[in-house]
Amino acid sequence: MNNRLLLLSGLIGVAVALSACGRADGQKAVSQVAAKVNGGEITVHQISSVIAGNQIPSEQAKQAAAQTLERIIDQELLVQKALKDKLDRDPQVMQSIEDAKRQILARAYLERAAAGSSTQSWEEIRKFYQENPALFERRRIYRVHELVVVAPREKLDALKAATAGEKSLQDVTAWLKSQKLVFQVAMSNRPAEQIPLEILPQVSEMREGQIAVIPTPRGASVVQLLQAQEASLSEQQATPIIEQYLQGRKRLAVAQAEVRRLREQARIEYVGEFAAPRAQPASSSVDDRDESIKKGLAGLR
Pair 163, 222: CB distance under 8 Å: yes
Nearest Cα residue to 173 out of 203, 158, 181, 164: 181
Residue 49 Cα distances to 68, 106, 129, angstroms: 10, 20, 35
Average pLDDT over residues 66-70: 92
Burial class of residue 47 in the structure, from the number of CB atoms within 10 Å of its CB (0-12 exposed, 13-18 middle, 19+ buried): buried
For residue 283, give the DSSP letter: P
Query: If pLDDT is split at 50, 70 and 90, which confidence band does 112 have?
Result: confident
Q: By mean pLDDT, which of 26-30, 207-211, 238-242, 250-254 is the weakest?
A: 26-30
Helix pair angle (235-265, 91-113), 10° resolution: 110
Secondary structure (DSSP) of 39-74: TEEEEHHHHHHHHHHTT--GGGHHHHHHHHHHHHHH
pLDDT digits (tens, 9 = 90+) for 123-141: 999 999 999 999 999 999 9
pLDDT at 61: 79
Separation CA 220–CA 175 (nearest Å): 14
Residue 96 CB partners (closer than 8 Å, separation 6+): 5, 6, 8, 9
Residue 63 CB partners (closer than 8 Å, separation 6+): none
Separation CA 43–CA 63 (nearest Å): 17
Separation CA 51–CA 57 (nearest Å): 9
Separation CA 256–CA 130 (nearest Å): 27
**Please, what sign has the CA dihedral across residues 48, 54, 58, 64?**
negative
Separation CA 219–CA 152 (nearest Å): 6
Pair 255, 113: CB distance under 8 Å: yes
The pTM score is 0.58
Residue 142 Cα distances to 97, 120, 133, 203, angstroms: 43, 30, 15, 9
pLDDT digits (tens, 9 = 90+) for 162-215: 888 777 888 899 899 999 999 999 999 999 988 888 889 889 999 999 999 999
